[in-house]
Amino acid sequence: MCWAVLSLSTAQHFKKVKTMDEIQSLKNIIDSKEAEITALRSINDEHRILNGKLRKEIDQLKLSNIKDVEDSKKEADKLMIEKIKKYEKKIRQLKKDAKEMLQYP
């Protein structure tokens, strides 16, 4: 009878050891997963920061492009006004010449 108790106790002891090993294994897995989560959160935070910087850079490029287009339009308008003035002057001269030609007998 003593042997049965001893055997039962040994069996329980092995069961406890097995359970403790399983618990430790699970704790190790949990620790590993927590480390992965921490690393992924860090990467995610870095990506958020980078995305914010990229959005700002894109906005600045858009503003720069808009300014360049506006400057080009202003330059084109200036050139067009100069051309219009040139042709208006030529038209005035032609009208003056035509008027003078009509005055000759």
Q: For 20, left (φ over 0), alpha (ψ -120 to 50), or beta?
A: alpha
Phi and psi torsions of 51, nearest 5°: -60, -40
Instruction: Please give the structure tokens belonging to residue 94.
Output: 């032609």
This prediction's pTM? 0.50
Reported as a single tens digit per residue, the pLDDT across 24-73 is 999 999 999 999 999 999 999 999 999 999 999 999 999 999 999 999 99
What pLDDT is recorded for position 6?
Answer: 46
Choose the weakest-confidence range: 5-14, 17-26, 71-80.
Answer: 5-14
Q: Which residue has the tokens 């042709």?
A: 87
The CA angle 67-72-78, to the nearest 5 degrees, is 125
Give the per-residue pLDDT at 66: 92
